[in-house]
Amino acid sequence: MHGRHTAFGTVGDKSLGKSGNFFHLHMVSDSTGETLMTVARAATVQYEDVQAIEHVYPLVRSQKQLDRVVGEIESAPGIVLYTLVDPDVAARLERVCLDLAVPCVNVLEPVFKIFQSYLNVAWTGRIGGQHALDADYFGRIDALNYTMLHDDGQVPGDLNEADVVLVGISRTSKTPTCIYLANRGIKAANIPMVPDIPLPPQLDEVTHPLVVGLVASAERIQQVRQNRVLALNAASYQNESYTDRRQIAHEVSSTRRLCAEKGWPLIDVTRRSIEETAAEIMALLRDHRAEEM
């Protein structure tokens, strides 16, 4: 078991030194630590000019594994968040934090209490139960395999097997959005809209999937495309229209017009994160499935 150290919201130690307004955040988990990181980052971003130096300790399931954690908390005191099922391991961590006068919180305890009170059943104390190799897990793997196989317009012949098909011009975050959806068990394909290249005819024949168009402002797409060209070191990039603002504006207009003609919902991703875009798509998908029933 090894702790992972990151400076969330910063770029290296230099930026921390400039602000000086940082704190140590220890996250101790008997599973992967993903729950703790999600909660901690959701809380941290609510405080301006405050940056957390993260210490992540996954798979802490014994007193011996806790020894290293205790040593690091003693050498760098700070807020301690944990999800530990073993009561003895959790109790020792609580005692250490009390002795050091640092805050220590079991982030799931209030949730467990509410569930137990409402459901009137005892909790099982399963470690990492959310990562069980059950039907949902293998469903997510199947969705991810489908999504990777159908990225960027590949294998259009079986688009009707998708749950969602995303349509949009280059740099509208189609691929990362599809991958996020696949991790939620949703089979997602994406079709690029390229000037002077027709969309695959199979797209007009689909009956099962929800088709969603993605757009962004011309300024945003131009910026992302220019960065893309620079990242690829494409100094001799011949297709100048790829980063031409007027051409991009025309592509955006074409996307909007096509979605209006087809009756496809359209999402502007200019100021949206991947997670926010995916959340709206999942809401649209629920409505779409309800209409199919």
Which residue ranges make up each domain of the chain?
Answer: 4-129, 135-292
240: pLDDT confidence band, cut at 50, 70 and 90? confident
1: pLDDT confidence band, cut at 50, 70 and 90? very low
Distances, alpha carbon 96 to alpha carbons 63, 102, 254, 257, in Å:
13, 9, 62, 62
Model pLDDT, residue 11? 30
Give the residue numbers of the binding site. 168-175
Query: What is the average pLDDT score of the chain?
Result: 88
Residue type, 234: A
Residue type, 127: I
Model pLDDT, residue 80? 98
Asked if pLDDT for residue 4 goes beyond 70, the answer is no
135-292: CATH number = 3.40.50
Here the tokens at position 81 are 């968040």
Instruction: Kindly state the average pLDDT of the residues 206-226.
Output: 96
Instruction: Kindly state the average pLDDT of the residues 220-245.
Output: 81
Model pLDDT, residue 120? 83
Asked if pLDDT for residue 18 goes beyond 60, the answer is no
At which residue do the structure tokens 């199979």 appear? 202
CATH architecture of 4-129: 3-Layer(aba) Sandwich (3.40)
Closest to 80 measured CA to CA, from 112, 124, 39: 39
The tally of CA atoms less than 13 A away on the side-chain side of residue 117 is: 6
pLDDT, tens digit, 9 for 90 and up, residues 168-194: 999 999 999 999 999 999 999 999 999
pLDDT, tens digit, 9 for 90 and up, residues 54-97: 999 999 999 999 999 999 999 999 999 999 989 999 999 999 99
At which residue do the structure tokens 């996020």 appear? 180
Give the residue numbers of the binding site for ADP. 168-175
State if pTM tops 0.85.
Answer: no
128: pLDDT confidence band, cut at 50, 70 and 90? low
Here the tokens at position 42 are 């959701």
Instruction: Kindly state the average pLDDT of the residues 213-223.
Output: 97
Least confident of 6-15, 220-229, 246-255, 268-277: 6-15
Tell me whether the CATH fold assigned to 4-129 matches the one assigned to 135-292: yes
Q: How many C-beta neighbours within 10 Å does residue 81 have? A: 22
Q: Among residues of the chain, what percentage have pLDDT more than 90?
A: 71
